[in-house]
Structure 1
Amino acid sequence: MTGFWQAVVFAVEVLLPSVLMMLLGWFLGRTRQIDQQFSAQASKLVFNYGLPLLLFTNLYGNDIQYQQQAVLLTAGIVSTLILFLGAELYAMRFVPDIRDKGVFVQGVFRSNMGIMGLAFVQNAYGNAGLAAGAVYLGVVTIFFNILAVITLSRSATATMGQKLKTVGKKILTNPLIVAIVLALTLQQLKVEVPEVLLATAGHIGHISLPLALICAGATFNVRGIRFSDLALHASIGRLVVAPVVAILTGLTFGLTGIPLGVIFLMTATPVAAASYVMARAMGGNEVMAANIIGITTLGALLPAAAGIVLLRSLGWM
């Protein structure tokens, strides 16, 4: 088998499990075996308990290469900042409505790392990749929230201080970030966590990503998507421009192998569902935010697959 076809097989192995789980969720929703209320409650449980336990067990049980992680995190922050500034410049020139500007910018830079990104990384690299992805998720999520407050603040009535205070509280109480900090702290202090607790946490954590993907598929509504020009432009930025920027930034920082794979896979995802929540809370155009989520969810797999095949063929991930 040639290198190209090996890369194609690898791309299928990375993406297909997530696609199938979302399709299962869509089927269960269409046949009314699960409903919107179940999906909402299950997603809440995944966010508050399942994903935090998954991240905790993988970080606590793996040897973290902090020097390598520092380079990966720096590349991730720089890549995000490039996307943010580029989207701001585009919005300044081509997005006239103030309620649309922040929503457009957030749609470009904010990826769905917590569910789709982690699922892709786990499928590609197993627990070793998941540990690297967990640290990346924790740090870059904080950066996402700060940038979202900045770009959406023009359409909100509260002062910048009040907005930063709100986002600071959300960061400090975010279950994913709390779990990551706790795992790294216990690991560094060499605190022994009883095996029975780790095993229980592992069992709960292992169901979190499949359940989250099933719920995402169950709540996905193609008919509700409206393909406006701005939503399409933001979606192109998220699905095409963002992964290219992530790859180029990673290569500039000398990343290859798992680290480059992590920064690419964490970026080559739809826009995060949290973008809708923040847009609505801060006076942005929540309808446009929902449309960007729908379009990017529908269109994410093709550019992600193309990127995986390219990077794998070149031996870079």
Structure 2
Amino acid sequence: MTAAIIFAITIVLPNLALMGLGFFMRRKGQASQAFIDQASGFVFNYCLPALLFFSVVDSEVDYAKQVTLIIAGIIITFILFFGSEAYAKRFINAPADQGVFVQGIFRSNMAIIGLATVTNAYGEIGLSIGAVYMGIVTILFNILAVITLSRVSKSVDETWISRGLMIAKKLATNPLMIALLAAFAYKALALPPITGVIHTTGDLLAAVALPLALICAGASIDLKAMLSPSGLSMQASVGRIVVAPLLAIAVGLGFGLSGVHMGVLFLMVASPTAAASYVMAKAMGGNDTLAANILGFTTVIGMFGMAIGAAILRGFGLM
């Protein structure tokens, strides 16, 4: 069991350290909001796409074997979505709170926290598998987020058709989606390996992605909001950092997953609430204060939950 605990600490501690550095830089005035916004945009538009593209192109992973993993992830997402929807309709009155609550539970931070932790745990193989999983499930995340937040859409003229077009446009212009589709196409066409300057440049961009993203995540943490959560944000946080990981384990075991596939499923699902949830809630008229509270609390506390879960699974030889 000691080895399992060390494994869990090893995969989570680097992420916490980088987030702590970002928080320290913000407190010292070394990371302004403008820097955070620009660095986050740089990571999202250039570094993460490079990381995902080359991790898929360079890997020898048999993606057909990931079908079970992806199906398990989709089922977990739907269970969390419909379960939190039912809870919100029964116990939450304000429409502006309902969608934010639901999104805070089902939508995890796969692109930053999830991928970083999977990479720490399994290296390039884990990154490749995690990238494919993230690409598929992210599409579902965006669709469900628009559906649940549409209760309080600011535009009175908006229709389901316009919302569908908006989702399609977001997916078609999403740099992460473009990078993954390009990588799949490159692999499918059996083109020669990418070498030389192009690959070296891609490697340099990819190397920046996760460290800089984690620093920006840490710099964005609002301790006041995190330490003074409302009852509603606490309920959503419990759903994200307790219910979601337990559900991941149950579904993963039900599908017979083990090893790296079980590890990827657990770490992706158990990740804190996605940073994009705050941006989307604010843009669509949801309770952005509630979204910020959920994001801040789960980002810090959720990391410890991931470590505990990983230690237990590792101890039983499941990941």
Taking the aligned partners of 1:212 and 1:197, their CA distance within structure 2 comes to: 23
CA distance in 2, matches of 1:98, 1:46: 33
> What residue is the counterpart of 1:303 in the other structure?
305
Take 2:238 and 2:27, find their aligned partners in 1: how far apart are those partners?
A: 29
Rounded Cα–Cα distance in structure 2 between residues aligned with 1:309 and 1:299:
16
Does the 8 A contact of 1:7 with 1:313 survive in 2?
A: yes
Q: Is the 2:22–2:216 Cα contact (8 Å) retained in structure 1? A: yes
**Who is 1:288 aligned against?**
290
Question: Partner amino acid for 2:21?
Answer: L
The equivalent of 1:182 in structure 2 is: 182
Share of identical aligned residues, percent? 50
Whole-angstrom distance in 2 between the partners of 1:184 and 1:195: 21
Q: Deviations over 1:116-156 (max 9, x none)?
A: 00000000000000000000111000000011111111111
- Provide TM-score, normalisation by structure 2: 0.96
1:269 equivalent in alignment to 2:271:
yes
Q: TM-score, normalised by structure 1?
A: 0.97
Match of 2:19 in 1: 22
Rounded Cα–Cα distance in structure 1 between residues aligned with 2:289 and 2:159: 24
5+ long unaligned stretches in structure 1: none
- The Cα of 1:66 is off from its aligned counterpart by 2.3
Aligned twin of 2:65: 68
- Residue number among 257, 260, 263 corresponding to 2:262 in the alignment: 260
Q: 1:298 Cα shift?
A: 2.4
The 1-side partners of 2:135 and 2:295 are apart by 21
Query: 1:12 offset after TM fit, Å?
Result: 0.8
Could you tell me how far apart the structure 2 residues matched to 1:79 and 1:219 are? 28
Asked whether 1:134 is paired with 2:131, we answer yes
Figure out how many residues of one structure are paired with residues of the other and give that number: 314
Residues of 2 paired with 1:88 and 1:230: CA distance?
Answer: 14
Aligned to 1:50, the other structure's residue is in SS state helix
Within the candidate set 34, 37, 45, 2:34 is matched to 37
Amino acid at match of 1:293: L
Q: Which whole-Å CA distance do the structure 1 matches of 2:173 and 2:122 have between them?
A: 29
| Match runs of 1:145-184 below 5 Å | 145-156=142-153, 157=156, 158-184=158-184
2:208 is matched with 207
SS at structure 1 position matched to 2:290: helix
Question: Amino acid of the residue matched to residue 186 of structure 1?
Answer: Y
- For 1:95-114, what aligned pairs fall within 5 Å after superposition? 95-114=92-111
Mapping of residues 235-246 of structure 1, within 5 Å: 235-246=237-248
- List gaps (5 residues or longer) in structure 2: none
- 1:34 offset after TM fit, Å? 2.1
CA distance in 1, matches of 2:140, 2:291: 19
What is the root-mean-square deviation of aligned Cα atoms in Å?
Answer: 1.0
Shift of 1:8: 0.3
Matched-pair contact (CA < 8 Å) for 1:153–1:160 = no
Higher mean C-alpha displacement, 199-208 vs 156-165:
156-165
Q: Which segments of structure 1 move beyond 6 Å, counting only runs of 4 or more? A: none
Match of 1:200, SS state, is helix
The answer for the alignment partner of 1:54 in structure 2 is: 51
